[in-house]
Amino acid sequence: MSNDAQPTVNGPTPGGYAEALGELEQILTALERSDVDVDVLADKVQRATVLIAFCRDRIGRARLQIEQVVAELGDG
């Protein structure tokens, strides 16, 4: 199953962190229903994994930027 996840991994790149998080929430809501098809389930999990990585990446970048800006402010 996990091998078939590749196409869904290539879903549209989210517009930003908030959009990605929104999609993640939708996926979670959908997956937590009992009648989810196993195949769909695997695809959704793959997509969710991609979105989570996206979000982590965004947070990491933001942290880096903030740290740079604060460092530039000096100790004032």
Partner 1 sequence: MSQPSFDFADVDNGGDGGIPTLGVGELAEAINGALRRSFADGVWVRGEIQGWSERGPHVYFRLAEETADGKASVNVQFFAPSRARLKPLLMKHRLRLADGLKVRIFGHLDFFAPSGQLGLKMSGIDPRFTLGELALQRDDVVRRLVAAGLYDRNRQRPLAVAPLNVGVVTSLASAAWADFLHEIERSGLGFALKVIDVRVQGERAVAEVTAAVRALAGDPHLDVVALVRGGGGRTELATFDHEAIATAIASSPLPVFTGLGHEIDRAVADEVAHTALKTPTACAAALVEAVQSFRAATEQAWAAIAQRGASQLAAAASDVSATAQGLRHRVLAAVERADHRLGAANAALRRAPRMLDVEVRHLDAVAERVRLLDPAVTMARGWSITRTPDGRTVRSVAQLAAGDRIITTFADGTAGSRVEETTP
Residue 9 touching partner 1 (CB under 8 A) = no
Q: For the window 17-56, what string marks contact with partner 1 as x by the rule CB under 8 A?
A: x---x--xx-xx--xx----xxx-xx-xx--xx--x--xx
- The amino acid sitting at 10 is N
| Count of other CB atoms within 10 angstroms of residue 47 | 19
Q: Give min distance, CB of 66 to partner 1, in A.
A: 5
- For helices 17-31 and 38-73, give the axis angle rounded to 10 degrees: 150
Neighbours of 44 (CB within 10 A): 19
Neighbours of 34 (CB within 10 A): 4
Which residues of this protein are in contact with partner 1, per CB under 8 A? 1-2, 17, 21, 24-25, 27-28, 31-32, 37-39, 41-42, 44-45, 48-49, 52, 55-56, 59, 62-63, 66-67, 69-70, 73, 76
